[in-house]
């Protein structure tokens, strides 16, 4: 477990996280608390995360959720470099506002850039951008249909047989979930009305991915 800012990221702050897992090693990482991104006047906060795993290594990146307050401005970047034979389990949850406090994120900016290399070759590239009237955009059916929490699980290696197993998750799942596999990895996407529902459903999916126990902080 590593100590993230927890107290909150303010406008203009920049944080860099660089993790390297050596050959044949296994590492599971989580955070001490949810990451909070506070309202910003003008400057955008930056969070840059570099994850590297050598041959035969396994990295599980399982932080607690990132919570965006109203008028937060956040730019986040993942650069993931996996050697041939390395494996990865990466889970990320982003929450737009604090539902338990009756707060929503109406305006702001969130840019999320992911780049994944495997054996030196780019196998996945994606950039998500929500800007301006974020609350109105999340309400649209083609974006989140009113959901205020989104999540992603990236599994390397992954294939269609894994996706078939994930589709057997319990009927009690309440999230919208999308599953796919290509380029030697699998991905699950989640969208829910609140973070608690999403986290519970993500745990149910992860139980079919790995037999390794989740960090204890995930169980509360």
What residue segments make up the domains of the chain, in order of their start?
Answer: 14-210
Q: What is the mean pLDDT of the chain?
A: 90
Alpha helices in the chain (DSSP H): 134-139, 160-166, 195-206
Q: How far apart are CA 209 and CA 203, in angstroms?
A: 10
pLDDT at 179: 93
pLDDT at 114: 97
Q: How many CB atoms lie within 10 A of CB 206?
A: 21
- Tokens at 219, concatenated: 């169980």
pLDDT at 220: 63
pLDDT at 4: 67
pLDDT at 72: 93
Four-residue CA torsion sign, 193, 1, 14, 92: negative
pLDDT less than 70: residues of the chain? 4-7, 100, 220
**Interior/surface letters 73-83, b for 16+ CB within 10 angstroms, e for the rest:** bbbbbbebbbb
pLDDT at 23: 97
pLDDT at 215: 82
Tens of pLDDT, residues 113-139: 999 999 999 999 999 999 999 999 999
The structure's pTM equals 0.92
């Amino acid at each position: 477990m590593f100590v993230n800012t927890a107290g909150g990221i303010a406008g203009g702050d920049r944080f860099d996280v660089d993790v390297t897992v050596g050959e044949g090693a296994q590492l599971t990482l989580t955070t001490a608390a949810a990451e909070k991104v506070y309202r910003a006047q003008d400057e955008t906060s930056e969070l840059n995360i570099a994850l590297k795993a050598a041959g035969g290594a396994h990295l599980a990146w399982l932080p607690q959720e990132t919570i965006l307050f109203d008028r937060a401005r956040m730019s986040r970047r993942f650069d993931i470099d996996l050697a041939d034979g390395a494996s990865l389990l990466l889970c990320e949850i982003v929450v737009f506002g604090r539902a338990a406090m009756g707060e929503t994120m109406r305006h702001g900016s969130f840019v999320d850039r992911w780049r994944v290399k495997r054996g030196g070759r780019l196998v996945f590239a994606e950039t998500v951008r929500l800007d301006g009237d974020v609350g109105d955009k999340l309400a649209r059916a083609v974006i989140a249909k009113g959901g205020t929490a989104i999540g992603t699980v990236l599994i390397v290696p992954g294939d269609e047989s894994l996706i078939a197993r994930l589709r057997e998750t319990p009927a009690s799942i309440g999230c919208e979930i999308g599953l796919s596999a290509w380029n030697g990895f699998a991905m699950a996407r989640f969208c829910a009305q609140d973070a608690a529902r999403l986290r519970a459903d993500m745990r149910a999916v992860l139980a079919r991915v790995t037999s390794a126990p989740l960090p204890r902080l995930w169980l509360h």
